[in-house]
Amino acid sequence: MAQVELQNISFIYGAGEPYEIRALDNISLTIGGSTVTGIMGHTGSGKSTLVQLLNGLLKPTEGKVILDGKDIWEDPKKIRDVRFKVGLVMQYPEYQLFDETVRDDIAFGPRNMGMSPDEVNARVLEAAQFAGLKEALLDKSPFDLSGGQKRRAALAGVIAMRPELLVLDEPAAGLDPGGREEILNSIREYQKISGTSVIIVSHSMEDMALYCDRVIVMEAGRVFMDGTCAEVFSRYDELISVGLDVPQITYVASELKKYGLDIGRDVYTVKYATAKILEKVRGDNA
Amino acid sequence: MNLDISFGQYCEGKSVLHRMDPRAKIIASVLYIIVVFLAKNLWSFGLLLLSAAVLILASGISPKIILKGMKALTFIIIFTSVINIFWMKGETLLFSLGFVSVYLEGILNAIMIALRIIVLLIGTSVFMTYTTTPIALTDGLEQLLAPLKKLHLPVHEFSMMMTIALRFIPTLIEETQKIMNAQKARGADFASGSLMKRAKTLIPILVPLFISAFRRAEELATAMECRCYTGGDGRTRMNVLHASPKDVVLCILLVLLGMVVIFTNGLGGYSLSW
Amino acid sequence: MSTLQKTPIIEIRDLSYAYPTDDGSASSNALDHVSLSIEEGSFVSILGHNGSGKSTLAKMMSLILIPDSGSVMIDGKNMSADDVTEEDILEARRKVGMVFQNPDNQIVATVVEEDVAFGPENLGLPSEEIRRRVDEALSLVGMSKYARHAPHKLSGGQKQRIAIAGIIAMRRRCIIFDESTAMLDPAGRKEVMDTIERLNKEEKITVLHITHYMNEAVRGDRVIVMDGGRILMDGTPKEVFSHPQRLWNARLDVPQTTELLYHLKKSGYDVRLDIFDPGECAAEIAKALGKQ
């Protein structure tokens, strides 16, 4: 199981200049394992910087990024290998599509890895299937796809590298509720089948609540909270205090307490809330 | 990608020069260029250096910023001067090394050429780019060239294009960075390989960049249309340029400077050959 | 609806449209015989999944697209008639403005106030008048202190507020927001929604907000749900969100409060579904469960 360990990481934009910005401030974390980890925080909290450190797009100002027991910056010339192991799907990834066919575009990563045409082909088919792209679409131009299909093609382009760790920055941004659900379900499904560690960066508490096992909350360049969904959302008052939203259902649960109906602090999905309420009422009546 | 474009970038300020009409500053720049090319001997160049110093003072911009900005151009200045030293034939031979002969005239010429480039850069950048926002420059240029509209030259359209280009440069630089990162994340390698190979690695950047630029252009055009844009006719401006007496004075001063330079040219000494 | 017979600011009659295809084959209708009218001063949200026709509808109302059949009336004037001139279209655009999805692609100038001035400049107004309107518009959207800033350094929410100011400065009576919040983060969305709401309540500007966020749609006074190029539902937020199943079928969401109440109702408890506030929702549940 792939794990990335961040040791005392700090990152400063424009270090040494008068306008330097400390985006990350002495962070130590271990991410990975067979889970879906959510990273959240508002714009400027450092979460995007964190993500780009994981695959070596950025080099930490201080501290070490350890992957498979090795410092990824030990040999800067080999940083490309790190990017094959830690696959990053950037925000609005459909804008990076460039090749003549969807097939070629998905093959870009595997070809860069130096695979044989047969291997590349196998990877493309596998990735397309995971991303929920029909084979008939593979020979189309990526620019003829619908918005949602383009997003899937871009996702497949990263999955095709079979990364040990898959990092997605706002994978559902701009999609409608149906589209959000579909893409997040495919990611969840992919995680289960392949065993890859998945990291999702998102603003959406509702999505986090539904799809993540572990949630890391960033605030002002530091880790503000780190735990299971239940642990994190039960501290909703603290989340609100740093300007983050919590799922509406969490508010409802907290309001219910005023009526003597205590269903606990760790309510973050409607399904769970419904079950808890019914259990409580039936228990009382029994 | 770190594009060092600090030279000539607008510096916020409230100096006399900052507050002047951009049209006056454009005219002043043109006059200044003429004056610089009029200068022929060291007296005149001394005078020009003095005028450049006065300009920097009047702009309120720290000489350090200007010097730092010039650094990027050091090579051009040295290169042109050195060429002059070796290529000029004169009367006073200083020394010869093989087929290379260096004459006193060559050295004087080199010094003056270097001075010419330096004052030219200081003058135009202080008048225009350092103290005038790009948008004010575009406005000034549009209004100066307005008479050409009668000849059916698309003056307004040209200045609109300039404005939009200026507006989108930072956006596109940011976008290029994003696309590069996205392709790097898929193992793209921009740094190694032969020239051909490197040119090929640009495709995954250029294709998305162009597509996005076209999409942006289309959306922007629609947005402009929805804001009732129909071209330059019947359009008014929020900021109307007003020439004040100080703008006229500036131009007169430059004409005077030109006359003085013609006078000092006559004071003798070695005269610049071109 | 009001008893006063006022001319609707926008009225659409039996509108159909299909996007042209590359090979000339017939594509399915993006809009299929749609009729609706937007009353002056109202705050209407148009909901629908991607491809439901909601953005096409917006482009019709802002006269970017021309209908295949049917008509668009702006302030009582038929804009789809054959004798419509450029002048008429300009006139209509002075009444109805549009804010687009991508905040970057609608800002023209390199200085915030210059951008806000762009529209009024196109109208040929005197410069003092433009100055006045620009200052006023910037203060209405709470961006006065950024007047001299460069737009590309602002956040998404701030950029959208600049775009809104640019429209207010043209004194438009109706603004169409075409998924203007879709690319923003939660903070930016809130900024923009608060601004929209204030313009509607205080400045009486008609708002047409196209979105797929439920919590934004509940803030208006009318919700139109589009699906397959047709109007699926049309009513107050309370009316529309009382039918979660129909919204789910149209690939949309309902607020979590409604979803919870819906599940409780299915379990046999007598609860209302049209509640969007967590406090009220809790009260309703307590009442139904006999826990006062």
The domains found in chain A, sorted by start residue, are 3-239 (3.40.50.300), 247-286 (no CATH)
- Nearest alpha-carbon partner for C103 in C174, C153, C50, C139: C153
Q: Confidence class of residue A191 from pLDDT cuts 50, 70 and 90?
A: very high
Q: Confidence class of residue C36 from pLDDT cuts 50, 70 and 90?
A: very high
Average pLDDT over residues B103-118: 88
Question: Half-sphere exposure (CA, 13 Å, Cβ side) for B96?
Answer: 7
Q: Touching check for B215 and chain A: CB below 8 Å?
A: no
Chain-chain contact of A84 with B189 (C-beta, under 8 angstroms): no
Instruction: Look at residue A123 and tell me whether its pLDDT is greater than 50.
Output: yes
pLDDT of residue B5: 45
Q: Touching check for B133 and chain C: CB below 8 Å?
A: yes
Q: Confidence class of residue A116 from pLDDT cuts 50, 70 and 90?
A: very high
Determine the distance from the C-alpha atom of residue C196 to the mean position of all C-alpha atoms in its chain, rounded to a whole number. 9
Q: Determine if residue C117 is left, alpha or beta; phi over 0 gives left, psi from -120 to 50 gives alpha, anything else beta.
A: alpha
Interface test with B, best of A59, A98, A123 (most B CBs within 10 A): A98
The answer for B 186-245 residues in CB contact with C (under 8 A) is 215-216, 219-220, 222-230, 234-240
Interface test with A, best of B186, B200, B216 (most A CBs within 10 A): B186
Q: Touching check for B182 and chain A: CB below 8 Å?
A: yes
B85 Cβ contact partners less than 8 Å away, ≥ 6 residues apart? B102, B106, B107, B109, B110
* Lowest-confidence segment of B89-93, C60-64, C105-109, C172-176 by average pLDDT: B89-93
Residue with tokens 């709470």: C142
pLDDT of residue A65: 95
Instruction: Look at residue C2 and tell me whether its pLDDT is greater than 60.
Output: no
Q: Confidence class of residue B2 from pLDDT cuts 50, 70 and 90?
A: very low
3-state SS record for A17-81:
CCCCEEEEEEEEEEEECCCEEEEECCCCCCHHHHHHHHCCCCCCCEEEEEECCEECCCCHHHHHH
* 3-class secondary structure, C230: strand
Chain-chain contact of A158 with B211 (C-beta, under 8 angstroms): no
Q: Evaluate whether C278 touches C286 at the Cβ level (below 8 Å).
A: no
Amino acid identity, residue B36? V
Average pLDDT over residues C142-161: 93
pLDDT of residue B16: 87
Average pLDDT over residues A45-52: 91
A159 Cβ contact partners less than 8 Å away, ≥ 6 residues apart? A87, A126, A127, A130, A131, A166, A190
Distance from CA of A275 to the nearest CA of C (A): 9
Beta strands in chain B (DSSP E): 93-97, 100-103
Distance from CA of A50 to the nearest CA of B (A): 14
Nearest to B222 among C64, C104, C118 (CB): C64
Chains that touch A (3 or more CB pairs under 8 A): B, C
For residue C285, the chain A residue with the least C-alpha distance is A256
Chain-chain contact of A178 with C51 (C-beta, under 8 angstroms): no
Instruction: Look at residue A285 and tell me whether its pLDDT is greater than 70.
Output: no
Chain C positions in Cβ-Cβ contact with residue A254 (cut-off 8 Å): 278
Summarize pLDDT for A229-239 with one digit per residue, the tens: 999 999 988 98
Rg, Å, chain C Cα set: 21
Chain-chain contact of A261 with C279 (C-beta, under 8 angstroms): no
Chain C positions in Cβ-Cβ contact with residue B213 (cut-off 8 Å): none
Question: Between helices C127-140 and C156-168, what is the axis angle to 10°?
Answer: 140
Beta strands in chain C (DSSP E): 10-17, 31-38, 43-47, 69-74, 77-78, 96-99, 174-178, 206-211, 222-227, 230-235
Instruction: Look at residue B4 and tell me whether its pLDDT is greater than 60.
Output: no
pLDDT of residue A151: 95
Average pLDDT over residues C48-77: 91
% of chain A beyond a pLDDT of 90: 67
Instruction: Look at residue C20 and tell me whether its pLDDT is greater than 70.
Output: yes
Chain A positions in Cβ-Cβ contact with residue B188 (cut-off 8 Å): 108, 112
Q: Touching check for A42 and chain C: CB below 8 Å?
A: yes
Nearest to A96 among B187, B189, B208 (CB): B208
* 3-class secondary structure, C147: coil
pLDDT of residue B6: 47
Instruction: Look at residue C269 and tell me whether its pLDDT is greater than 70.
Output: yes
- Taking CA atoms, A73 is separated from A56, A58, B83, in Å, by 8, 10, 46
% of chain C beyond a pLDDT of 90: 76
Instruction: Look at residue C146 and tell me whether its pLDDT is greater than 90.
Output: yes
Q: Confidence class of residue B7 from pLDDT cuts 50, 70 and 90?
A: low
Distance from CA of C110 to the nearest CA of A (A): 22
Average pLDDT over residues C67-73: 92
Summarize pLDDT for B172-222 with one digit per residue, the tens: 999 999 999 999 999 988 777 778 888 888 899 999 999 999 999 999 999
- Tokens in use for C141? 């959207």
Instruction: Look at residue C28 and tell me whether its pLDDT is greater than 80.
Output: no
% of chain B beyond a pLDDT of 90: 36
Rounded CA-CA distance C177/C167 in Å is 11
Summarize pLDDT for C183-214 with one digit per residue, the tens: 998 889 999 999 999 999 999 999 999 998 88
Q: In b/e form, how buried is each residue of A169-204, taking b as 16+ CB within 10 angstroms?
A: bbbbbbbbbbbbbbbbebbbebbeebebbbbbbbbb
DSSP string, B38-77: H--SHHHHHHHHHHHHHHHHHHT--HHHHHHHHHTTHHHH
- Nearest alpha-carbon partner for A53 in A40, A63, A45, A43: A63
* Lowest-confidence segment of A23-27, A137-141, A247-251, B192-196 by average pLDDT: B192-196
Rounded CA-CA distance B105/B86 in Å is 10
Q: What is the mean pLDDT of chain C?
A: 91
B113 Cβ contact partners less than 8 Å away, ≥ 6 residues apart? B80, B81, B84, B272
Q: Touching check for A58 and chain B: CB below 8 Å?
A: no
- Nearest alpha-carbon partner for C113 in C95, C139, C89: C139
Q: How many CB pairs below 8 A link B and C?
A: 97
pLDDT of residue B90: 78
**CB neighbourhood size of B236 (10 A):** 16
pLDDT of residue C26: 62
Residue C144: φ, ψ to 5°: -55, -40
Interface test with C, best of B161, B167, B241 (most C CBs within 10 A): B167
Q: Confidence class of residue C5 from pLDDT cuts 50, 70 and 90?
A: low
Q: Touching check for C227 and chain B: CB below 8 Å?
A: no
Residue C242: φ, ψ to 5°: -80, -5
pLDDT of residue B129: 84
- Nearest alpha-carbon partner for A188 in A149, A155, A219: A155
pLDDT of residue C226: 94
Q: Evaluate whether A241 touches A257 at the Cβ level (below 8 Å).
A: no
Q: Evaluate whether C282 touches A248 at the Cβ level (below 8 Å).
A: no
Chain-chain contact of A274 with C215 (C-beta, under 8 angstroms): no
Chain-chain contact of C183 with A258 (C-beta, under 8 angstroms): no
Nearest to B185 among A55, A97, A143 (CB): A55
Nearest to B187 among A57, A89, A109 (CB): A109
pLDDT of residue C23: 67
Distance from CA of B184 to the nearest CA of C (A): 24
Rounded CA-CA distance B22/B141 in Å is 8
Summarize pLDDT for B13-68 with one digit per residue, the tens: 888 888 899 999 999 999 999 999 999 888 899 999 999 999 999 998 888 888 88
Nearest to C130 among B167, B223, B236 (CB): B236
Chain-chain contact of C110 with B163 (C-beta, under 8 angstroms): yes
What kind and span of H or E run contains C56? helix C54-61
Q: Confidence class of residue A1 from pLDDT cuts 50, 70 and 90?
A: low
Distance from CA of A58 to the nearest CA of C (A): 22
pLDDT of residue B195: 80
Chain-chain contact of C251 with A245 (C-beta, under 8 angstroms): no
The residue ranking higher by pLDDT, A18 or C18, is C18
What kind and span of H or E run contains B104? helix B104-124
Instruction: Look at residue B99 and tell me whether its pLDDT is greater than 90.
Output: no
Q: Please provide the size of chain B in residues.
A: 274
Instruction: Look at residue A265 and tell me whether its pLDDT is greater than 50.
Output: yes
Whole-prediction pTM value?
Answer: 0.86
